[in-house]
Amino acid sequence: MKALRQFLRYLRVEREMPVSATGKSASPVDDLIERYVHYLRSERGLTKNSVLVYAPCVREFLTYRLAKMGNLALQTLEAETIQAFLLERIAHRSSEPARLISVAIRSMLRFLFLRSETPRDLSPVVPRVRTYRQSGVPAVLSPQEAESVLSATDLTAKRGRRDYAILLLLARLGLRAGEIVSLELSDVQWRTGEILVRGKGCQLDHVPLLADVGEALALYLREDRGTSISRRFFLRLMPPRTGLTGPCSIGHIVRLALARAGVRPQHRCVAHLFRHSLATRMIRHGASMAEIAEVLRHRSQSTTAIYAKVSFDALRTVAQPWPVSGGAQ
């Protein structure tokens, strides 16, 4: 039953299908979630990945409300109920998951007010979770570790050739996991030597098709991809032969590759390790922030500023001496 519920949730969120064959919702929660997802897609223009983050958080809140009251009773929804739910759910979470929950609930409350489900806009009562940008140093792989991960991939196996092409896109071009999943056959432009990347916010970018990357992609196409109605470049190994399920599948591939190479990641989002490592190598070889931002396709150079911390040699030249007894040393 759990697997069936997850499958139905996938159909509702990803394929925008009704909850039942008759079009009638199984519960008030399902009906509201369906309308909320449609609002996120059609009016807010959120990407599929964002919807997959928001919808479960909202479902959790509505289920909590239904269990407490016996019905949604949105007309009598109060700030105390919202804040009690948030305090209960984020008590033992780190800052980023807690922030995402608060953002999703705030979005839902605005939707309810716009649809006249609540008499007033309750979104301002949701407390903002304080997060600190650039509070840490990016976790990276050393050049030796990155190369060991690539060399540990078995190119004699079908899985290995597919995974090797994916790892090269991460390591050489710094692509995001979601960008690799959404890559289509027509996006690899062999004649011009470019790859069309579908980035965040429906942004389209052209990146160069490096020689070793192109060879790995061509080998996968020629030997292993096979025929499929799917236009996605990378397919599942097991039937159905469709595109990879999402960014989490890229993370799974990277975790297996790191384990084969004996590398223990210090970062939860392992696919991003290669992106961080590429930027780190560039800055240590003298690249400017503008150049790194262009390669990583950042919209704002403030996003790239965190990589200034990894240039330890440059930071030592501006570090102030530590004051000690008897004078600074």
- The residues carrying an active-site annotation are 176, 200, 272, 275, 298, 307
Is the CB of residue 126 less than 8 Å from the CB of residue 86? Answer: yes
* Residue matched to tokens 């330890």: 312
Burial (CB < 10 A; 0-12, 13-18, 19+), residue 28, is middle
Cα separation, 69 vs 13, in Å, equals 26
Question: CA of 127: how far to CAs of 26, 72, 75, 84, in Å?
Answer: 32, 22, 21, 11
Task: Give every CB contact of residue 189 below 8 A, 6+ residues apart in sequence.
Answer: 195, 196, 209
Residue (of 163, 63, 145, 50) closest to 107 by Cα position: 50
Question: CA of 148: how far to CAs of 139, 189, 202, 264, in Å?
Answer: 17, 29, 34, 12
